[in-house]
Amino acid sequence: MAIVKTTRTRKRAHSGSDIERRVTTVVGELRQLSDQLLAEIADRKSAEEALRQSQDTVTALLNAPPDSALLIAPDGKILAANTTAIKRLRRYAGPGKRTDLVGVSVYGLFPKELTEHRKARNEAVIKSGRPARFEDERNGRWFDNSIYPVHGAGGSIVGLAIFTREITERKQAEHAIAQSQETIRALLNAPTDAALLLDTKGNILAANETAA
């Protein structure tokens, strides 16, 4: 009987050792999975932080110049815009529009004539695949526009980057200079006598028809 008890005791001890080993193995696997999960969470947080910093950098670069910077889809939907662009476009946005205007069609913001002009310019860039530059006028304000195609991985155009600079002051200065030149010509040609405009070295800057 003693031998039998000893054998049973050994079996129970052996069974207990197996359970302990299994528990130890499971705990080790769980600990390993936990470490992996923590590492993945840390990597994800690091990636999210890198993405946030990248987005902040892009936003800062977009908002650095006083020019409008706009990214639109081929159909005209606004994908991104800097502060200057939002400020200018918001003047044309109707009530109920989203304040950031992202997702709104840029073609729905301008008067019909200007919309047709802008759309034709954009479609020409999409068709040719080459950048374009042009000037136009809105409500007495002049703008210099540059359009660049944005190519996707397959080479197709997936959007347009549009940069707009207001040049009203330059246009006004050019107009003032042109008017001044016309005034000088009129004054020079008014008298019947010869009239010359010379610089300090005696070079002729302008002359009326009689002097010529």
CA dist 160 and 71 (Å) reads 6
Number of other residues whose CB lies within 10 A of the CB of residue 84: 19
Residue 129, sorted as left (phi over 0), alpha (psi -120 to 50) or beta, turns out to be: left
Name, in order, each residue with C-beta under 8 angstroms of 130's C-beta and a sequence gap of 6 or more.
149
Q: Residue 3: what pLDDT?
A: 46
pTM comes to: 0.53
Over pLDDT 90: what percentage of the chain? Answer: 11
Greater model confidence, 24 or 61: 24
Helix ranges (H only) for the chain are 2-63, 83-90, 112-128, 168-189
Q: Let me know: does 151 contact 130? Beta carbons within 8 Å.
A: no
The 10s digit of each residue's pLDDT in 141-188 is 888 889 999 988 888 899 999 988 888 888 888 777 777 777 777 666
Among the listed residues 67, 49, 28, the one whose alpha carbon sits nearest the alpha carbon of residue 145 = 67
What is the Cα–Cα distance from 193 to 208, expressed in whole angstroms? 9
DSSP per position, 154-198:
TS-EEEEEEEEEE-HHHHHHHHHHHHHHHHHHHHHHSSSS--EEE
What pLDDT is stored for residue 103 in this prediction? 85
Which residue did the predictor score with more confidence, 197 or 77? 77
- Look up residue 174 and give its two tokens: 């050019």
Bridge partners for 196 per DSSP? 207
Q: pLDDT tens for residues 29-62?
A: 777 776 777 777 777 776 666 556 555 555 555 5
Q: Which tens digit of pLDDT belongs to each residue from 53-75? A: 555 555 555 555 568 888 899 99
Round to whole Å and give the CA distance between 195 and 202. 14
Look at residue 128 in the predicted model and tell me its pLDDT: 92
Question: Could you tell me the two tokens for 55?
Answer: 């987005």
